A and B are shown apart, each in its own frame.
Chain A
Amino acid sequence: MAGVSIRQVNKLYDGAVHAVKDVSLEIHDKEFVVLVGPSGCGKTTTLRMVAGLESITSGEVLIGDTVVNELPPMDRDIAMVFQNYALYPHMSVFDNMAFGLKMRKFARAEIQARVKQAADILGIHELLHRKPRQLSGGQRQRVALGRAIVRHPQVFLFDEPLSNLDAKLRVQMRVELKKLHERLGTTAIYVTHDQVEAMTLGDRVVVMKDGLVQQVGEPLELYNAPANRFVAGFLGSPAMNFVEVRLAERGGALWAEGDGLRIQPLPEQAGRLARLNGGRATLGVRPEDLRIANGSDPEGLCFEADIEVIEKLGAQILLDTRAGSHTIVASVEPTVRARVHDRLRLAINPDRLHFFDAANEAAI
């Protein structure tokens, strides 16, 4: 077992496309780290550089204490699971799983024992003699996992391994992956574009955009205290509401005034916003931090909005409302009775207000 250090790594394609920019990450032993971001953000390229499938333009990658920049993939003691499974189509499941061990000249008995053990863990014992084309998507994914775990590598690399599965199976495999990691304790780097996978699987989550790391942290840390507007909008479903506001001091208090709403932040937050007095900022509030106002809510935390669409999801109701020129989604109790075109008064949970700098989008 070993940690992985990525130090100031850059990737340039043909000297022109800068796919990964100065990425630095310390991944500890036994940790499950998820790289997440929209397509083209450099997450897969970063993973492939750790795997040795892409050359590293500058910077260093260490697995354990060894700099692996120049090591071929076979000498890095890693295993990788691909999005399309990449099972060898002409080999049986057993041979697929045994291939890596055969290449490393393991004894026959050892190979048998390891494949059997992995098959038991994954529940694919009865599939060992089938060919990949005779398997369903979920079974193929298990075989691909089995092929990775028989080798007892130092690090697992996952490249969107669940993307080709249907929604239900994806949820199931997500749980199994989590259990598998708890059982084996192998360091894992997992790439996905799906924020739910990232939040549920990762001990820590790395959000990337345009080749840059935006924020690294535990899932709830990222959710509750996003470092910038991108992270705030990327994590969470439905996404955070954003309203462009102007900050102004009125009657000794700082107000955030936008089209259709006026909000008075708590004094502690107002203190941090004071330097922007008279300037612009972006106010962010998650749908679940909005509720229907009652009489006791202070004026500075409420605003009026018209319901445009009602989405009844069962456990909650999403109200797509319009306040001024902004569309604001609120997630409310399923017991709330509301109709389209109703005008209602929404209250904001003041502890959960976010402000972002209008210029550099960093959290304030």
Chain B
Amino acid sequence: MIEGAAWRKWLFFYLPLAVFVIWLLFPFYWMAITTLRPDGELYRPWNAKNYEPFWTANPTLDHIMLLLEETLFPTWLWNTMLIALVSTLISLVCGVFAGYALARLKFPFAGSLGTGIFITYLVPQTLLFIPLADVIRNFRLGDTPWALILTYPTFLIPFCTWLMMGYFKAIPKELEECARIDGASRWKAMIYIILPVAVPGILSAGIFAFTLSWNEFIYALVFLSSSEQKTVPVGVVSELIRGDVFYWGPLMAGALMGSIPVALVYSFFVEHYVSGLTGSVKG
């Protein structure tokens, strides 16, 4: 903490904090204000007399109405939710078990397998979508939610595995040994002791995975084509930017409403999430 006179605290604590808060929150404010601003104000030139970029005197819900009524936004929202939830679930189940195995079981090549999984995470999606597109076509999954549900785990599983592996390593192995002496098999010791203790880690991995798949753009753009199959990021961008015409109001309304579910998930689990990232299980 900052010691000394009150002005020191203002200068070295509150002022930098305020700068950070404004820096971080301004894009969201811009998104919100653009959503509520009527077109007349949005397209007013900067040198007009009544130009007022940071505030609006006549808030309107027109853009939101347009988004909900004239586009398939509710469908996109549902698609995104379904795809993000299912792919997160698949990745969590695989990541938790794989992480546990890599952290706890002694088997040949455990170390190099862990590194291998990490390396797959490092392959950029912008390269990987080309071979994956071929796979999707061969399985005739193009333009279905399964195209994304099955490809998102390619980057989510390595991510969850690594996060969970670190978390499991931080749990004292005596807990498990004690459970096994107490009469639990390895499986029961994992279910009754290790998994409940690892809940903060599992939640962190889940939130991260959910956010990554919610925001994913490139696979969704490549693998989905019909409007009613699209996810929010792709739908909003492809339907509300027509050529060089940007429908700024509905675009920002879509961005705003698309970020609300993620914000809710974060705020709901924030405590667990933070303790998950900072690790540490105290007895």
Task: Give A contacts to B, CB under 8 Å.
Answer: 51-53, 72-74, 76, 78-80, 82-90, 99-100, 103-104, 132-133, 140, 147, 151
Instruction: Tell me the nearest residue of chain A to B184, going by C-beta.
Output: A103
Instruction: Tell me the nearest residue of chain A to B178, going by C-beta.
Output: A86
Taking a contact as CB atoms under 8 Å apart, the answer to whether A73 and B282 are in contact is no
Asked, given contacts A82-B174, A86-B172, A90-B197, whether A74 binds B180 with beta carbons under 8 Å apart, the answer is yes
Cβ of B193: which chain A residues have Cβ within 8 Å of it?
Answer: 88
Chain B, 121-153, contact with A by CB distance < 8 Å: what is the 0/1 string?
000000000000000000000000000000000
Taking a contact as CB atoms under 8 Å apart, the answer to whether A72 and B180 are in contact is yes
B residues 158-201 in Cβ contact with A at 8 Å: 172, 174-175, 177-185, 188, 192-193, 196-197
| Distance in angstroms between the alpha carbons of A53 and B180 in the assembled complex | 9
Q: Which of B174, B175, B181 is the one whose CB lies under 8 Å from A73?
A: B181
Cβ of B185: which chain A residues have Cβ within 8 Å of it?
Answer: 72, 74
A14 to chain B, nearest CB (A): 10
Taking a contact as CB atoms under 8 Å apart, the answer to whether B174 and A84 are in contact is yes
Taking a contact as CB atoms under 8 Å apart, the answer to whether A90 and B181 are in contact is no
B212 to chain A, nearest CB (A): 28
| Distance in angstroms between the alpha carbons of A87 and B178 in the assembled complex | 8
Task: Give B contacts to A, CB under 8 Å.
Answer: 172, 174-175, 177-185, 188, 192-193, 196-197, 281-283
Taking a contact as CB atoms under 8 Å apart, the answer to whether A89 and B184 are in contact is no
Instruction: Tell me the nearest residue of chain B to A74, going by C-beta.
Output: B183
| Distance in angstroms between the alpha carbons of A140 and B281 in the assembled complex | 15
| Distance in angstroms between the alpha carbons of A85 and B175 in the assembled complex | 9
| Distance in angstroms between the alpha carbons of A26 and B21 in the assembled complex | 69
Taking a contact as CB atoms under 8 Å apart, the answer to whether B184 and A88 are in contact is no
Ranked nearest first, the 4 interchain pairs of A and B with the lowest CB-CB distance are A103-B183, A100-B182, A86-B174, A86-B178
Instruction: Tell me the nearest residue of chain A to B282, going by C-beta.
Output: A133
Q: Which of A52, A89, A132, A147 is the one whose CB lies under 8 Å from B182?
A: A147
| Distance in angstroms between the alpha carbons of A147 and B177 in the assembled complex | 14
Taking a contact as CB atoms under 8 Å apart, the answer to whether A133 and B283 are in contact is yes
Instruction: Tell me the nearest residue of chain A to B199, going by C-beta.
Output: A90
B176 to chain A, nearest CB (A): 9
Cβ of B188: which chain A residues have Cβ within 8 Å of it?
Answer: 103
Taking a contact as CB atoms under 8 Å apart, the answer to whether A151 and B182 are in contact is yes
Cβ of A99: which chain B residues have Cβ within 8 Å of it?
Answer: 179, 182, 184, 192
Cβ of A88: which chain B residues have Cβ within 8 Å of it?
Answer: 175, 178-179, 193, 197
Instruction: Tell me the nearest residue of chain B to A151, going by C-beta.
Output: B182
Taking a contact as CB atoms under 8 Å apart, the answer to whether B197 and A73 are in contact is no
Taking a contact as CB atoms under 8 Å apart, the answer to whether B282 and A100 are in contact is no
Cβ of A86: which chain B residues have Cβ within 8 Å of it?
Answer: 172, 174-175, 177-178, 283
